Amino acid sequence: MREDPIFALIHGQQHDPFAILGPHILTTESETVVVVRAFLPMAESVTLQPTTSEVLPRPMTRLHPDGVFEALFSGQTVVFPYQLEVVDRNGQCVTIDDPYRFPSTLSEFDLYLMGEGTHYHQHEKFGAHQISLDGVAGVVFVVWAPNARRVSVVGDFNQWDGRVHVMRHHPSNGIWELFLPGVTVGAHYKYEILAQDGELLALKADPYAFAFEPEIPRTASVVADLTYAWHDQEWMATRARRHTLSAPLAIYELHLGSWQRVPEEGNRFLTYRELAHALVPYLQELGYTHVELLPVMEHPFYGSWGYQVIGYFAPTRRYGMPTDFMYFVDYLHQHGLGVILDWVPAHFPRDPHGLVYFDGTHLYEHADPRQGAHREWGTLIFNYGRTEVANFLINNAVFWLERYHLDGLRIDAVASMLYLDYAREPGDWIPNRYGGNENLEAVAFIKRLNEVVYQYHPDVLTIAEESTSWSMVSRPTYVGGLGFGLKWNMGWMHDLLEYMHKDPVHRKFHHTNLTFGMLYAWTEHFVLPLSHDEVVYGKGSLHRKMPGDDWRKFANLRLFFAFMYGHPGKKLLFMGGEFGQTSEWDHERSLDWHLLEAGPYHRGLQRLVRDLNRLYREQPSLRERDDDPGGFQWIDCHDADQSVVSFERRAKNEDDRIVMVCNFTAVPRHEYRVGAPTAGYWAELMNTDAGVYGGSNLGNDGGVEAQAEPTQGQLYSLVLTLPPLAALMLQCHSSV
């Protein structure tokens, strides 16, 4: 060997270790020999032990004091299998397999699809995977770093020395790969990357790691086994009908770390398995159909709630192992509950061990901060126009749906992806090629994402948190839409929260806040969200947003929730809202469960939510025609002076109807006449002022008979007593 390759090897500058290390066939004019070289800095001596009887063991010669060894086998014409018997400087002897004698695990087809950006199961190759090569067990590591001079796997198994396990480079794709014999599940590892300019970067976590270390700061990747025996076959077989537009979708939004803790054990988190067993009876009692989890992907900064992701393929270790999270999903499925996951493709944090400046260049993010930085969040924006980056994200979505059996993805901050000038001042953004503010690359990515997800899993949901008037967000891409299944109705949420915050005496001046949403209710497939974003950063809890004393606050909440369930659209409520959490959400502690014992109001509100979910599931008229304007009709939306609205919901069976009347003032309305579509006895399915909900128990003694007096465009009418700050839900039990 020449001196230069040895120098590069021992100083961590060698980018092609397979050209030097491992077995090589050399041919001279006189003979053919096999030479084997190894770099073992901690070794005192090394003996090469062939695993075939045809070749005898041989001590290796030290070529350099820093641990470069060589053995020469004259007369050998083929490479043979072998192991290395290593004696370290403490006299300890261990036998190892040489990683540089094994072939690549990537096929030409893999490399082709990766380069094309259509390898949507790339996680099966990238990351750290237990495999067996030539009968030897170990782990193969694969990472994308096209602009690196050198990439090494470092970890527990090599004393975190980046010179020891330099990876094989596939220059056409920028992929680095290495099989390490003897590495097992549980090993901690990272990638040491040398940039082209010679800069040694901060050790990088594996972008495809399946698990992370449980200890703070949670930056080391961990080799994990995702083998799990699922028992949710019945759920998976029936999931498609649960996700039709006519099916009930009542979502309980949840942050795993603060729903419930164990204060007597140092305020520790519940584990995934403990959460599963605590959540199932609670959600079943309240009648929810799905739970939506704030992001569970690994995030070192707990205060980000999961929205600053480092480990896109790893559930956070705060609550257990990856298979524990699988158990969580499986257990909920077995008990009839779906699991939706918040997913964050809009941005990623600047943590030096993460994706930022990954190979010494702006690989995952744009180089220009006018395109690549979210200044208000302090995070970076993915370069959606880069084929490999788009493939990384789409593959990640497919991974969670397949490996963890998730039922849907709620895509966070879609508006920030769609607009180049999102949260930017004039001159601080770069227009697209047509001079507009639309991020054309992000639009193409979003469309492709939804096409791929629904191609592989047509029975799941993709849900957009999109806060602007971008058209056709939840329409198929083949008609020009973005392809999402559902969209959060942010306009409805903001209008209603603003309206409910007003003192009832002033609501008549803001009546259009109640009614405006019906002008666009069928432009998208909407979810009506009362989410975590509305109860943080000084906004106060839903309870505190309501005006008046405690009685009025709870009456307003009951009315608000009933109006929400009567309004077209799927339903979402953040945890704590169902029982009137009084304090703002704090991710560092449990919800205030003790409030349920603090009087009738909190428990009454919780009971109301339970009954609303029951009616929502049982009554086709409340959800069967959410996507059909014929499923809703105003009876009277003009009584602004009294702040009363009335409307009708219809099922596909036109005889199946519900009438809702909502009084948004604290004044009882006696002998209030409302139009009715049919004759007969109209029973009160729900009265939010009922005593069991904490109300004053004012109502109509269970129902009223329709009168043959046309009113408000209806052939019949109902003369009702409207309780203060309350909603009535009525259904005709007989007609003529």
Task: Return the active site residues.
Answer: 412, 465
Helices marked H in 178-301:
233-242, 272-286
Residues 564/570, Cβ–Cβ less than 8 Å: no
Q: Is 95 left (phi over 0), alpha (psi -120 to 50) or beta?
A: beta
The tokens for 364 are: 């995952």
User: Helix H segments across 367-439?
Assistant: 369-372, 387-403, 414-418
Instruction: For residue 225, give the amino acid letter.
Output: D
**Residue 513 and residue 495: Cα distance in Å, rounded?**
5
Q: Quick check: 246 and 625 in contact, CB under 8 A?
A: yes
What residues have CB less than 8 Å from 329, skipping those under 6 apart? 232, 339, 404, 405, 406
Q: What share of the chain is helix, strand, coil (3-state, %, to 5)?
A: 30, 30, 45
Of 265, 267, 320, 257, the closest CA to residue 293 belongs to: 257
Distance CA 585, CA 581 (A): 8
Q: Classify residue 593 by its DSSP letter.
A: G
- The residues pairing with 632 across neighbouring beta strands, listed in sequence order, are 649
CA-CA distance, 450 to 461, in Å (whole number)?
Answer: 10
Residue 712: name the closest of 609, 605, 639, 629 by CA.
639
333: closest CA among 464, 230, 194?
A: 230
φ/ψ bin of 680: left (φ > 0), alpha (ψ from -120 to 50), beta (otherwise):
left
User: In Å, how far are 92, 491, 523, 702 from 517, measured between CA atoms?
Assistant: 75, 7, 11, 31
- 573 closest CA partner among 154, 292, 335: 292
Closest listed residue to residue 1, CA positions, set 36, 48, 51: 36
Summary count for the chain: helices (H), strands (E): 14, 38
The answer for residues whose C-beta is within 8 angstroms of residue 377's C-beta and 6 or more apart is: 347
Distance CA 711, CA 444 (A): 51
Q: What is the dihedral of CA 318, 323, 324, 325, to 10 degrees?
A: 70
| Residue that is written with structure tokens 């909407």 in the block | 526
Q: Which residues of 491-514 are buried (b: 16+ CB within 10 A; e: fewer)?
A: ebbebbbebbebebeebbebbebb
475, 523 Cβ separation under 8 angstroms: no
* CA distance linking residue 532 with residue 733, whole number of Å: 39
- The full 3-state SS of 603-657, as one line of letters, equals HHHHHHHHHHHHHHHHCHHHCCCCCCHHHEEEEEEEECCCCEEEEEEECCCCCCE
